Amino acid sequence: MSKIAVVFWSGTGNTEAMAEAAAEGAKSAGADVEVFQVDDFNASDMADYNGFLFGCPAMGDEVLEEDSFEPFFAEAEAKLNGVPVGLFGSYGWGGGAWMENWSERTKEAGAKFVGSVIAENAPDDEALDECRKLGEDLTKAV
């Protein structure tokens, strides 16, 4: 059975809702899934999982959250080569440049990139369905 970690940061609950939907999708596809807020997960824990769903909203000038998520992801990048990864997050302004940059970083790290989902502010039903599909697609890629 595939073991997947969903690791996220959420300030308002929007990205947390997306994390829960992505986890549901991975579970429905047969994966063993654990969900973590980023402060409760270390890059050293990554060896215990077959794939990852990472979630972070756009912050500041369309960047990842800088105090917790960015330092975690900078360390995690070295462990992504050949590993299935999906990304998700919400934004309140801009057009999603943070996700484009984050997706590119993930691919450059050698990850088996399965896709990304973004939602403006609170995720609607369509965005939550896309997150569930992202979880399913990640499980199939493991």
Each residue's pLDDT tens digit, 19-65: 999 999 999 999 999 999 999 999 999 999 999 999 999 998 889 99
Number of domains comprising the chain: 1
The angle, 0 to 180 degrees and rounded to 10, between the axes of the packed helices 125-141 and 14-28 is: 50
pLDDT of 85 > 80? The answer is yes
Give kind and range of the element (H or E) at residue 59.
none
CATH of the domain at 13: 3.40.50.360
CB 39 within 8 A of CB 108: no
Higher pLDDT, 14 or 94: 14
Give residue 94's pLDDT band: very low, low, confident or very high (50, 70, 90): confident
Compute the mean pLDDT over every residue in the chain, rounded to the nearest whole number: 96
Question: Domain residues for 109?
Answer: 3-141
Record the pTM. Answer: 0.97
